[in-house]
Structure 1
């Protein structure tokens, strides 16, 4: 699937994505609002970190475009990743608390667990389970930890059954 994604809208309302981890802001970056149906907020943004980040299974680099889907009622976010010329790299999925959009900021609390799905869907990788265990969330907030592990299981199921793309449609 190397179809081009829609070009970033130059007139899209701007907002700031604020990604927090363990109560501290990890990164803030500008994004264009693509849509907000009252439950799912979709934004588009260029790769926001400095330089290249090579995970071994994918490289995020300047020029990459992320179309990010956040839910107010789900414990995850799904980020479609494309090169600057529109070639799909795959989907990076973060397990998060439900997102909050307030005063031009999309507030997202990252809970360490992640899932990578390659563009051809041949690779589905659960990531950072060791970081999640080390975070102590299970002791501090067992209900949130349970929701997080269920969200990772749901994401993996969606990816392996081919239903992830339908969720984003």
Structure 2
């Protein structure tokens, strides 16, 4: 079912290590039963400069979450519409209930620049330090596979097909 952003909104809750890290309102763009797409402005205070990209007030994120996949893909644009790239979070499958989209971040990330020339695996050290492999080896293996899958998609122009 396609939903216009004017018709519906929800709250995205990003959970990490059992604690809610951030909650922010988002407009529901589409929910087809498997993939949930929302749009929201940059929700953190101030600017976050990663060196390879800056997230800042005015940026708009179109975020794609799946109920059956272990990742989320966030298209990042400037306030004027210029594409910065895609920030991909490795997560447990998303859960939408009672107007809240709950997403558990598993520390691994992937950045893909707008022109596709830069594909960066991020936070692998945080993932190893998280202890997930000891606490939940099945989830840890799913997270590693999801990162590999996303990297392959990014390097073979498969992200567009995934999001299309």
TM-score interval w.r.t. the shorter chain?
over 0.9
Report how many aligned residue pairs link the two structures.
161
- Report the CA distance shift for 1:118/1:39 in structure 2 as closer, same or farther (over 3 A): same
Answering whether residue 93 of structure 2 is matched by residue 89 of structure 1, we say no
Structure 1: state its 5+ residue gaps: 1-8
Give the structure 1 partner of residue 132 of structure 2: 137
TM-score (norm: length of structure 2): 0.97
State the Cα distance separating 1:12 from its structure 2 match: 3.7
The 2-side partners of 1:144 and 1:155 are apart by 16
Answering whether residue 52 of structure 2 is matched by residue 57 of structure 1, we say yes
SS of aligned partner of 1:89:
strand
Structure 2: state its 5+ residue gaps: none
**2:5/2:28 contact within 8 Å kept:** no
The 1-side partners of 2:64 and 2:5 are apart by 19
The 2-side partners of 1:36 and 1:152 are apart by 24
Answering whether residue 109 of structure 2 is matched by residue 110 of structure 1, we say no
CA RMSD of aligned residues (A): 0.7
Aligned with 1:25 (options 20, 27, 30): 20
State the Cα distance separating 1:142 from its structure 2 match: 0.2
Runs of 4+ in 1 over 4 A off after TM superposition: none
